[in-house]
Amino acid sequence: MNDMRFEILVKAVQNAGLWSTLSASGPFTMFAPTDEAFFKLPNGSIMKLLEDSQGLNSILSRHVLNGKVMESDLVGWKKAQTLKGQDLEIEVDDGLKVDGAKVIQADVHCRNGVIHVIDRVLIPK
């Protein structure tokens, strides 16, 4: 990802040991929180997350689906299953939302799938 809005996400993916997985041929769908989304976390959370590779892996795995799922595909869905088999809630009222996070830019094509930019980090419930 060469988009400057995702510097924390790129560092987090590397620290979580997910870089090789997400660099594979895929295809994958990623709900990508911006740096601004990470800054919405409580004070000190970002540094603690970046130092906890196992916890970070768990959180970031919630942001990835197997396969290339476009915004138009998600419109008919109620849930989507993540790489780790967890369910994310899909809503289409007043724009597309994933587990309450608003999709602020959809269908960003990349080499091995698609990215949907979201406005907050998807923390496990």
| SS3 letters across 28-84 | EEEEEECHHHHHCCCCCHHHHHHHCHHHHHHHHHCCEEECCCCHHHHCCCCEEECCC
How far apart are alpha carbons 18 and 98 in whole angstroms? Answer: 21
Helices (H) and strands (E) in the chain, counts: 6, 7
How far apart are alpha carbons 21 and 32 in whole angstroms? Answer: 15
Number of other CB atoms surrounding residue 71 within 10 Å: 14
Query: Domains plus CATH for the chain?
Result: 4-118 (2.30.180.10)
Report whether pLDDT(102) > 70: yes
43-47, 88-92, 107-111, 118-122: which range is least confident on average? 43-47
75-79, 91-95, 101-105, 107-111: which range is least confident on average? 91-95
| The amino acid at 31 | F
pTM for this predicted structure: 0.91
